Structure 1
Amino acid sequence: MVTIRDVARASGVHVSTVSRTFSAPHLVNEKTRQAVLAVAAQLGYRPNRAARALTTGRTHNLGLIVADIANPFFPPLIKAAQGHARERDYHVFVADTDEDPVLEQELIETLSKQVDGVLLCSPRLSNQTIHRLRAEVPLVIVNRRVKGLTTVLMDVGQGARAAIDHLVGLGHRRIALLTGPPGSWTSGEIRQAATDRAAEAGVPLTVVGPNEPTEQGGLAAADKIAGHSAVLCYNDLVALGLIEGLVERGLSVPGDVSVIGIDDSLPGRLNRPKLTTITMPTAAAGRMAVDLLLAAVGAGEHAPHTTVRLETSLVIRESTQRASEP
């Protein structure tokens, strides 16, 4: 069996350097790290993760908990986080809460015994519960601001303002907003930003919700936006469901109603009409969250908290056009 000493001897470095290459790669010079990894691959060396965990107290596993793995918003984030963690010699366990805060808490408590830290994406738990769980395991929150904890935010408010500006610029004066589920931080951010920007433009905004964050949620809301010429939706799934509901009622998009989603997911790009939407930097958020979580794991209970805000942008496609009303 090839040992760590064999790799060190063949690489011309100390055993501790080989150990750090696999346990704390960010502490090793990039050129040295790549040379050690090349030698290890050539010799067929594989670190014993169980033995390393006993020595270092680290599992080199991370948890990643999302609200709904079937939502196309999450897979790019999951993929980016897993790849980024793998480059740092970490594995990621992914779990889905199905929008259920009780299950979310159970998953965090279970994973806390098996991982070094947890990425919590769009959580539905109360801030008080999240702070209590933070005492059990390092946490980084994605897409929700929690005071006193490290968070990665995608600036959905910026996107909502851009969406309202776009619709007003097209001459729409009867605009509706389909919000998301109750307790959603993102939904609250969208509502506040869209309401403020519409007020600045002197255009009334009708808020319709809460709604399920799914196609069914949009479909069910189709009757509630009668009389409006444009709708901003909580996410792409709601927007696609709304478009289906409008078509079933004999209305065309964007001929009768302009529709904007949020996420820039693949279904929206494949839909006809192609969906105008707000692109969210999900992959960048996944990578940033991993880096912040590993920093927190390394710093222990004294880890400082920070908030990173990533920009969003409007992508104009086929589901919006100039308003027909004067």
Structure 2
Amino acid sequence: MSVPLGAPTDRPATIHDVATLSGVAASTVSRALSTPDRVNIRTRVRIEAAAAQLHYIPNAQAKALSSGRTGAVAVLVADITNPFYFDIIRGTQLQLKAAGYTQLLVDTEESEDVEANTLEQLRKSADGVIVTASRLPDEALAAAAAKLPMVTINRDVPGVPSVLLDTPTATNQALDHLISLGHSRIAFIAGPASSRSSHRRWESLEAAAQEHGVELVRLGPFAPHTHSGAAAADAAVHSGVSATIVFNDLIAIGMLARLRERGVHVPADMSIVGCDDIFGADFCSPPLTTVTAPVEQAGRTAVTLLLSQISPNHGAAPRRQAVLPTHLTIRASTGPAPVRR
């Protein structure tokens, strides 16, 4: 692709230059770069090629660079292979791209040390950071947030803006659902010991179980991976419960496989409820009853909260917290409690 006659060479390229080179309207260029799903893929590729050739920098990013900022925002995830994070990453990426920022993605490997070291290093390479499912203590997160604009997802730390998925409400819905099916001895399969989300769900479930007069046992902690499901399933069978509410879908899917190996039928012998409604939860065998959350929206909202710190509107106080609702999605992995003989 060649630059058309009269194209600017001594000044930064504008959106109109990109439009001229790619043969579309400036509004189409804006849509292609901010909300790419709304533009035909061939048109989008042509626009992106023109923008690259002209070294076009979106206005917000240009302003950031001229002010001494990096024009980059880091997103830290605990495990990049966990499908739960896919939609968060997509949400942050789309929202940051629309605002003219580059996303830096970091896998902290479920490690406090990796997370702490990364936050320290990012002070020079990013304008802000979004931390998902942090494993650090509150004090460490608050100290890092004092040095670099930060938003947490699924972690409530005093003084640090956050986006919370209200999973305790939906896990209580799961408890109500299981009680309605006749289950009276139920297990909570806990996540990592350092997971605040796991603690929040347990505390909410424990209070609700006492109110309903049913027995709730806590099993775990378990690593949030499919391979943990075998040990979790064995623990559930040994405990004598007829139903489980599981920290996440990965563990729950691993449990389904292990229970099938043991000849324990789901849901005839044991009901399973997961959490997160990840890709695959609806077509595993049997399809998984699970907590559904607006995960991509959480990523987008986190970016909005972060950018309000980086570039606050004049006279407007940045938002400190957003709580997003969740709900229970009922599928075939839950059923009536078995009749004990």
**Aligned-partner Cα distance in 2 for 1:266–1:8:** 37
1:167-178 aligned within 5 A = 167-178=178-189
Kept after mapping to 2: 8 A contact 1:173/1:203: yes
**Aligned-partner Cα distance in 1 for 2:223–2:14:** 54
SS in structure 2 opposite 1:267? Answer: coil
Label 1:139 to 1:43 Cα distance change in 2 as closer, same or farther (>3 A): closer
Q: Which residue of 2 aligns with 1:248?
A: 261
Label 1:105 to 1:173 Cα distance change in 2 as closer, same or farther (>3 A): same
The amino acid across from 2:174 in the alignment is A
Kept after mapping to 2: 8 A contact 1:112/1:137: yes
1:265-276 aligned within 5 A = 265-276=278-289
**Aligned-partner Cα distance in 1 for 2:91–2:55:** 24
**Aligned-partner Cα distance in 1 for 2:163–2:82:** 19
Q: Which residue of 1 aligns with 2:109?
A: 98
After superposition, what is the alpha-carbon deviation per residue over 1:90-145, rounded to whole angstroms, capped at 9, x for unaligned?
A: 11010101100100011111222111100000000111111111122100000110
Q: Which residue of 1 aligns with 2:55?
A: 46
For the aligned residue pairs, the C-alpha RMSD in angstroms reads 2.9
Label 1:161 to 1:9 Cα distance change in 2 as closer, same or farther (>3 A): closer
Kept after mapping to 1: 8 A contact 2:162/2:320: yes
- 2:194 counterpart of 1:183: yes
Kept after mapping to 2: 8 A contact 1:4/1:45: no
Provide TM-score, normalisation by structure 2.
0.81
Label 1:42 to 1:174 Cα distance change in 2 as closer, same or farther (>3 A): closer
1:277-288 aligned within 5 A = 277-288=290-301
SS in structure 2 opposite 1:207? Answer: strand
- 2:157 counterpart of 1:143: no
Kept after mapping to 1: 8 A contact 2:13/2:55: no
Aligned sequence identity (%): 37
Identify the range of structure 1 (96-105 vs 221-230) with the bigger mean alpha-carbon deviation: 221-230
SS in structure 2 opposite 1:278? Answer: strand
Provide TM-score, normalisation by structure 1.
0.85
Q: Which residue of 1 aligns with 2:321?
A: 307
5+ residue gaps, structure 2, are 1-7, 18-29, 31-46
**Aligned-partner Cα distance in 2 for 1:9–1:256:** 65
**Aligned-partner Cα distance in 2 for 1:177–1:203:** 13
The amino acid across from 1:152 in the alignment is V
**By how many angstroms is 1:201 displaced?**
1.1
Label 1:285 to 1:43 Cα distance change in 2 as closer, same or farther (>3 A): closer
**Aligned-partner Cα distance in 1 for 2:231–2:15:** 63
Label 1:234 to 1:127 Cα distance change in 2 as closer, same or farther (>3 A): same
* Partner residue of 2:271 out of 258, 265, 273: 258
* Partner residue of 2:249 out of 219, 225, 236: 236
**By how many angstroms is 1:325 displaced?**
2.4
Label 1:291 to 1:4 Cα distance change in 2 as closer, same or farther (>3 A): farther
Label 1:308 to 1:51 Cα distance change in 2 as closer, same or farther (>3 A): closer
Aligned residue pairs, count: 303
Q: Which residue of 1 aligns with 2:219?
A: 208
